[in-house]
Amino acid sequence: MKKLTVSILQFPGTNCEYDTVYALKKLGHKTHIVWHKEETLPEKTDLVIIPGGFSYGDYLRSGSIARFSPVIKAVKQYADKGGLVLGICNGFQILTEMGLLPGALKRNNNLHFISKHQTVKVINSNNAFLNQCSKDEILNIPVAHADGNYYIDDWGLEEMERNGQILLRYCDIEGSPTVLNGSVEQIAGICNSEKNVFGLMPHPERAMEFVLGSEDGVRMLKGFQNA
């Protein structure tokens, strides 16, 4: 197994950084929490995770202000060189605001903050993230968001489908697509066309222990060590 150095970003209002540290340490990796004012990433970073939370109180739009933090410039350079980046929940919102991932995340259709365990179906596993999962596998992963309603125009959707960029869709326990928050095509997770930047609304770092309801997050986060 490859031991990774994982840099986990922290903005004012981030609240999942310690769960993310716990999850990655459980998998045997080395973690650094990187404050948003830093202008460089720790040396030898193998993976950057932008964790969940409410950076800058979700003011203006979720992720819109975090995107201009100093550390983001370093993340962009890192991603442009092919470095692996994962955005979870608010991290996904930040990645779309930065333009590293296509589309945008709008207010949930029912206007509720949705917080529960949710089944998602793996659509593409041929990538650095989900390679330990199988295509069509159903995973049980918690969601907790108000702005998870993924939007992309028809042209963008077609391009993502063609490139295998749709990674996860919300589904029922049998695997049939289910409407959770109004996302286009029930999309829960995507990647960029180069397949080094990943974003998802569900929280794999909260599904690391069977006693806490699910350990399916282990299989998801394990992928990076084989990348």
Q: Work out whether the CA dihedral 202, 208, 214, 215 comes out positive or negative.
A: positive
Q: Is 171 considered catalytic here?
A: no
Strand partners, 85: 48, 197
Tokens 């949930």, located at residue: 108
Question: Residue from 35, 59, 68, 113 that binds other proteins (CB under 8 A)?
Answer: 68
> Segment near other proteins (CB under 8 A), from 5-13, 63-71, 160-168, 191-199?
63-71
Helices (H) and strands (E) in the chain, counts: 5, 11
Catalytic residue selected from 29, 133, 191, 203: 203
**DSSP assignment of 178-214:** --SS--GGGEEEEE-TTS-EEEESS-GGG--BGGGTB
Can residue 32 be called a binding residue for other proteins (CB under 8 A)?
no
List 49's β-bridge partners, or say none: 8, 86
3-state secondary structure of 16: coil
Site for other proteins in 110-129 (CB under 8 A): 110-111
Nearest distance from C-beta of residue 152 to other proteins, angstroms: 8
The yes or no reply on residue 64 touching other proteins (CB under 8 A) is yes
Residues with Cβ within 8 Å of 217's Cβ and at least 6 positions away in sequence, in order, are: 23, 141, 203, 204, 205, 206, 207, 208
Q: Is 140 among the residues that bind other proteins (CB under 8 A)?
A: no
Least Å distance, CB 113 to other proteins, is 13
Q: Is 106 in the site for other proteins (CB under 8 A)?
A: yes
The minimum distance between CB 202 and other proteins, in angstroms, equals 20
Q: Which residues are catalytic?
A: 89, 203, 205
Site residues, other proteins (CB under 8 A): 60-61, 64-65, 68, 96-97, 103-104, 106-111, 149, 151, 182
